[in-house]
Chains A and B, each alone.
Chain A
Amino acid sequence: MKSVILDAMEIENHIEGTLKELLIKKNESFSYFKLKNMNILPCRSCASCCYKTPGKCVFQDDMPEILKAVANSDIIVLVTPIRFGGYSSQLKKAIDKLCLIGMPLYIVKNSHMLHPMRYGNKSLLGIGMADGDIHGQVENFQQLVGSNALNMQLNHKTLVFKKNDTLHKLETQLQNIYQEVFQ
């Protein structure tokens, strides 16, 4: 199993260390991307990736590195502060470009019109760090991960931490959820 981790955390946290330790212990291969250090340009919705250069963006940035890893992976892990009940802009800059893994064609699955995926079935794990008590932010985050999974036809799990959660809690929950995803 190969994991791709897209980490959009902006502040010091234990998620990166815990995730890496877990994957090394399990002898699983992974690619870890710290998004704040990456130059990813916004999607301009020009549709070139649909019809002119299928699956490739015409703007040059660091995204191909991520896309290569995603194409050859089994699990995509998103790590983000929960921002307005969704992803932070740091994560969203990469997520918007994940539309490149979809084809500009349509299929109908469970009464939903969806784009077929270029690189087959994968699992999605969304890890959010909640800050503050904004009503409905966690539910909205979970719904967003679920919608991404539906549209990309992935199995999915979400995990939400609070800023003051203990390292032990983080380790246990990550271990449990990874176990579920691997199964």
Chain B
Amino acid sequence: MYEKSLLILNGSCRKNKTSYIFAKTLKERWENTGNKAEIIHIIEYFDGTKDLDSIKDIIKRNNIICLVSPIYVDTLPYPTIWFLEKLSTEFSNLLLYKRFFAIGQCGFPDVSLCESLLGSCKCFAETVKMKWLGGLGYGGGAIIDGRSMEDLGKKGKKITHALDLALADIFKDKEISSKPQELLNIKIPKLLLYPLSFILNYRAKKTGKRYGVSDLTAKPYLK
């Protein structure tokens, strides 16, 4: 086993979108320190395109695990919870005393929306007796939308810096400090939420029209 090897679980149903961009950045930054990192996509195990049993060797060769996940209806997506349940019931002996941290990302700027997801990750760590090293929430998932950190300019640099600081804590086996989260917070004045909603609604209606749909408010299941 490598001294500090990092396994990154992509908890998204989509393999190349925002969670993957976070995972890819974490992998690159971790490898820059001369250590090993690898990414797996939970959805491949859920869909059965990868054998769940093959996860054993992957867990064995890594001593730190990170989950990067989008928020679906306020917490982890169904396939990700399924995967954590499998880890907990079938492979918990392999996880014992390994390190665990998590990153949750959502499309809404309010980072407090990530709290339930991170709380669940913490409970998972306690359930399988891993050491919880903390979590980060990011509320600008829609801004990234699958673009690389380099393409995001200043925003990308700030996110990368936050991840570097978090990884430095992880490397020292310390819980993630408050600074990375401060850097990831998106501050939108409350008054700006109204024009922002107006713009997003305009865009949504435009997208609907592109598909020939003029009424996005349909109620298909109402009697």
Query: Which residues in A have some Cβ–Cβ distance to B below 8 Å?
Result: 42-45, 50-56, 64, 67-68, 70-72, 83-89, 92-93, 95-96, 98-99, 103-108, 111-113, 116, 118-119, 132, 134-137, 139-140, 143-144, 147-148, 151
Known contacts: A72-B222, A104-B204, A148-B73. The answer to whether A136 contacts B217 by CB under 8 A is: no
- A to B CB contacts below 8 Å, 12 in the list: A42-B13, A45-B70, A54-B213, A55-B221, A64-B221, A71-B222, A87-B75, A89-B78, A105-B205, A105-B217, A113-B109, A147-B113
Q: Is the CB of B127 within 8 A of A132?
A: yes
Contact of B116 among A52, A53, A112, A143 (CB under 8 A): A143
Of the listed stretches B28-36, B54-62, B165-173, B194-202, name the one at the interface; the rest are far from the partner chain. Answer: B194-202
Q: Is the CB of B123 within 8 A of A113?
A: no
Residue from B76, B196, B204, B221 having most chain A Cβ neighbours under 10 A: B221
Residues of A within 8 A of B211 (CB): 51-52
Of the listed stretches B2-10, B80-88, B154-162, name the one at the interface; the rest are far from the partner chain. Answer: B80-88
Q: Is the CB of A118 within 8 A of B123?
A: no
Residues of B within 8 A of A148 (CB): 73-74
Closest to A48 in B: B211
Closest to A56 in B: B220
Q: Is the CB of A42 within 8 A of B79?
A: yes
